[in-house]
Structure 1
Amino acid sequence: MIRLALLRHGHTSWNRTGRLQGRSDIPLDEDAYDALSKLRLPAAWNGADLVSSPLRRAVETAQLISGRAPDIEPALIEMNWGAWEGQHGATLAADDTSGFRHIEDWGWAYCPPQGEPPAALRDRLQPWVTGLRRDTVAVCHIGTMRVLLAMATGWNFDGPAPFQIKRNRLFVLHIKESSLTLDPAPVRLELR
């Protein structure tokens, strides 16, 4: 059995103001950089492979918590928010004509204008996950994590998610053949 630990990147200025980042390559903000430089991977994960989304905020997070450069994995890139990228989610949600939905009402096929649906992320992530041969820490994005956690829990983006993604925690998936299961308790990053 292979373990895959998922870690969400640190905050950016866009996260803090509620802007949809998607594929925009926004770096960590100064507060996140400072906070992450005081954290590290738990010792049990030191020998694991380290991979990251190609986006700077994920690469920086991986380097700060491990002290080494991650391998870049294109499959881990964030969901494409298309025409909504850079906009404020609250503004879109308040506009009845925008087509914006809260995540509990997405389903696998929901797609922002010129963006991509969760099903497209699932289709790109599945071969990568099943190809893993060693325990791996993957630093990525909330959209990527939601899809992988949905695959592990059977959640279909319909109603409240059976998990809550928080920062500075490893969400550990067990991979056996093509099936995923989720450890019930996330593992906190440790203080240096």
Structure 2
Amino acid sequence: MTLLAIVRHGPTAWNRERRLQGRRDIPLDDEGVAEVAGWKLPPAFASFDWVASPLARARRTAAVLAGGGVGIAPAIIEMDWGGWEGRRLAELRAELGPAMAVNEARGLDLLPPGGESPRMVQHRLAPWLAEVARRSRPTVAVAHRGVLRALYAGGPCGDMRARPPWALSCRDAHPLLGGGGGRPRLRSLDVQAFR
């Protein structure tokens, strides 16, 4: 079994504004960099392979935490929120009313216009997870909330029709065990890695 620890990128201005970032390449601002710099790295992570989403916020988080030697994993880019990127969920709910409620109730099959569903994210992640398991090297991946939710769906997040049973915090690691086949097994919930 291969240990894979998923870390959510540090906070951005859009996170604080509660905007859907999706594929928009919103960087960490100075406040976000300072917060990440204050996170304490678990000693074991120093010997792990490190990869990051190609988006600047994930790459910068990984660089600050790992200090260098971070690969890019295109498969772990954030969910594509399409026409909803830059918007707030509260605005979309007010604007779209019942249609938004119906779309959100679809869980894994929620589909923003011009974007991708969490189920599509799962399909995108499967070959990458199989490759991580095949390499058999402990790995830290700096990714995004949408990636984490898609990974947890089918486990503690079920079909994503309800809120996750815990917060997907930037300050936590999310350890998974991969045995191949693109279906990770949850090792534990929200390890408070960076306290």
Q: Scaled by the length of structure 1, what TM-score is found? A: 0.90
1:106 to 1:163, Cα distance in 2 relative to 1, 3 A: farther
Q: 2:184 aligns with which of 180, 187, 190?
A: 180
Name the counterpart of 1:79: 79
Flag as ranges the 4+ runs of structure 1 deviating above 6 A: none
Counterpart amino acid of 1:78? E
Matches within 5 A, 1:1-192: 1-97=1-97, 99-101=99-101, 105-132=105-132, 133=135, 134-153=137-156, 155-178=158-181, 179-190=183-194
Counterpart amino acid of 1:156? D
Contact 2:172 2:194 in 1 (8 A): no
Counterpart amino acid of 1:125? L
Worse-superposed segment, 135-144 or 161-170:
161-170
Contact 2:25 2:55 in 1 (8 A): yes
1:78 to 1:146, Cα distance in 2 relative to 1, 3 A: same
Counterpart amino acid of 1:71? G
Q: Deviations over 1:76-117 (max 9, x none)?
A: 000111111111221111223584349962322221001111
1:32 to 1:98, Cα distance in 2 relative to 1, 3 A: farther
- Offset of 1:40 from its aligned partner? 3.7
Matched positions, count: 191
SS of equivalent to 1:39: coil
1:21 to 1:88, Cα distance in 2 relative to 1, 3 A: same
The two structures, once aligned, show a CA RMSD in angstroms of 2.1
Q: Scaled by the length of structure 2, what TM-score is found? A: 0.89
State the percentage of identical aligned residues.
38
